[in-house]
């Protein structure tokens, strides 16, 4: 079947198998490897992308479901310089091994779209579907709140 999707602002069409997952479409058909595959069961959040502006775990969504829609991956967040959330994760040491980072950043950006000034509790609650095995979350929460301040002040 043919799927046409706008990915990171660019329309792409590909012939795919009907059972192709969105994460496979992005990684294997478009070479956008910033979206990571972790658990294949939507438990870890490493595969989180935005579909039509909403966070989606791409390991449980068929690529065909995104047909005609807009997908933003971690690669699409920046426009030549780091997105404020990416910069905050770097500045506040919100990453270690980096495996969860793309999904964590995508989820955090969705949070700020919905809540531009989240409390620590609200950040932790929003990100509970994104697992990090390295950081203990403290620096991630700091990074999200720092990014929120930067975005509000811009």
The distance between the two most distant Cα atoms of the chain, rounded to a whole number of Å, is 46
Q: Are residues 92 and 145 in the same domain?
A: yes
Q: Are residues 119 and 148 in the same domain?
A: yes
CATH of the domain at 114: 1.10.150.120
Cβ burial, residue 129 (10 Å; 0-12/13-18/19+): middle
Q: Are residues 7 and 47 in the same domain?
A: yes
Last residue of a domain, one of 60, 76, 92: 76
* Band of residue 13 on the pLDDT scale cut at 50, 70, 90: very high
Domain boundaries, position 22: 2-76
Q: What share of the chain is helix, strand, coil (3-state, %, to 5)?
A: 40, 15, 45
Q: Are residues 67 and 124 in the same domain?
A: no
Cα–Cα distance for residue pair 102/88, rounded to 1 Å: 13
pTM: 0.94
**How many structural domains does the chain have?**
2
pLDDT in tens, 39-78: 878 889 999 999 999 999 999 999 999 999 999 999 999 8
Q: Are residues 44 and 90 in the same domain?
A: no
């Amino acid at each position: 079947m043919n799927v046409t999707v706008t990915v990171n602002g660019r329309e792409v069409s590909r012939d795919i198998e009907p059972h192709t997952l969105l994460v496979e479409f992005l990684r294997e058909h478009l070479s956008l490897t910033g979206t990571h595959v972790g658990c294949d069961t939507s438990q870890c959040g490493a595969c989180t992308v935005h579909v039509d502006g909403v966070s989606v775990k791409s390991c449980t969504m068929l690529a065909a479901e995104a047909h005609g829609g807009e997908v933003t991956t971690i690669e699409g967040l920046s426009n030549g310089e780091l997105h404020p959330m990416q910069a905050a994760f770097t500045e506040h040491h919100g990453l270690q091994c980096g495996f969860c980072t793309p999904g964590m950043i995508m989820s955090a950006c969705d949070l700020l779209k919905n809540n531009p000034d989240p409390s620590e509790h609200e950040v932790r609650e929003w990100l509970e579907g994104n697992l990090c095995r390295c950081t203990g979350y403290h620096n991630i929460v700091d990074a999200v709140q720092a990014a929120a301040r930067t975005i509000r002040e811009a």
